[in-house]
Amino acid sequence: MKTKKLVIDANRCKGCLTCEIMCSFFHDQVFSTDRARIHILKDDEAGVDAPIVCRQCSKPACLTVCPEKVISKDSVTGIVSVDEIICSGCGECVEACSYGAMALHPDTGVAIKCDVCGGNPQCVEHCPHGAIFFAEPAKINTIKREGLRREIVERVLQGRGERR
């Protein structure tokens, strides 16, 4: 089995937060942006919506710093996961992650992160705007290029003053 990763095309994100509430619904059976493991960084004035989610790093800082060794990386799928039963909620991992992808659960206090919903990520399943994909490394490149291609086409057309 190849390692699949979540890939985000931020240009397509419209900021609707569907990913966040579907994430919390899968994990906690509640629609709640505060309990989501994916997060859209928003800036209304600047008109920016930037989704952030765990990158399942090859050398995860969260795993390295965890004093209790409750974070592990699956050697087959590459998914980094927290043993939420033993985690004490010290928050070291939250500090260590440069992507802001780690959080402490508001109710249980333990570390939570994206676990790709066991292989069927709900953010991908429910994103209405096609802004997030779950793909094998070989396909990631195609998705990135496709996003870039659309962006370039738009710029070129705008430069020419053509209607889209």
Partner 1 sequence: MNRGDILRINLSDGTVSSESIGKELMLNFIGGRGINARILYYETGPGLDPLSPEAPLVFGVGPLTGTASPASGRWVITAKSPMTGIFGEAHAGGYWGAELRFAGHEHLIITGKASQPVYLLIEDEKVQIRDAGYLRGKNVWETQKLIREELGDSRIQVACIGPGGENLVKWACVINGLTHSAGRCGMGAVMGSKNLKAIAVRGHGGVKVAKPVEFMNAVKETKRIIREHPNYKNFSKYGTMLIANSLYDNGRLTFKNIQTTRQEGYNERLRAENFIVHTVKQKACFGCPCGCGHRYVVKEGPFAGIAGDGTELTTFMNLVGVGIEDWGAMFKATELCNLYGLDTASAGVVLQGAFECYQRGLLTQKDTDGLALEWGNVDVVLELLRKTAYREGFGNVLAESTTGAAKKIGKGADRYFFHIKGLDMLLVMHSAFIGSALCYATSTRGADHLRGLPTTEFYVFNEPLIKKRFGHLDFKALTSKYGYKDKAPITVWHQHFSVLFDSLPMCTFNGEWMLAQGIDLDNMADLLTTATGIDYSPETLMKAAERIYNLEHMFNVREGIRRKDDTVPWRYFEEPCPDGPDKGRLIDKEAWEKLKDEYYDERGWDRETGIPSKKKLVELGLNDLVKDLKSL
Number of residues that bind partner 1 (CB under 8 A): 33
CA distance linking residue 58 with residue 60, whole number of Å: 6
Give the residue with the Cβ less far from partner 1, 16 or 96.
Answer: 16
The phi and psi torsions of 95 (rounded to 5 degrees) equal -70, -35
- For the bound state, the minimum distance from the C-beta of residue 136 to partner 1, rounded and expressed in Å, comes to 26
Does 4 interact with partner 1 (rule: CB under 8 A)? no
CA distance linking residue 82 with residue 16, whole number of Å: 28
Per-position x/- string for 11-50, each x denoting binding to partner 1 as judged by CB under 8 A, each - no binding: x--xxxxx--xx-xx--xxxxxxxx-----xxxxx-x-x-
* Contact positions vs partner 1 (CB under 8 A): 11, 14-18, 21-22, 24-25, 28-35, 41-45, 47, 49, 106, 126, 128-129, 158, 161, 163-164
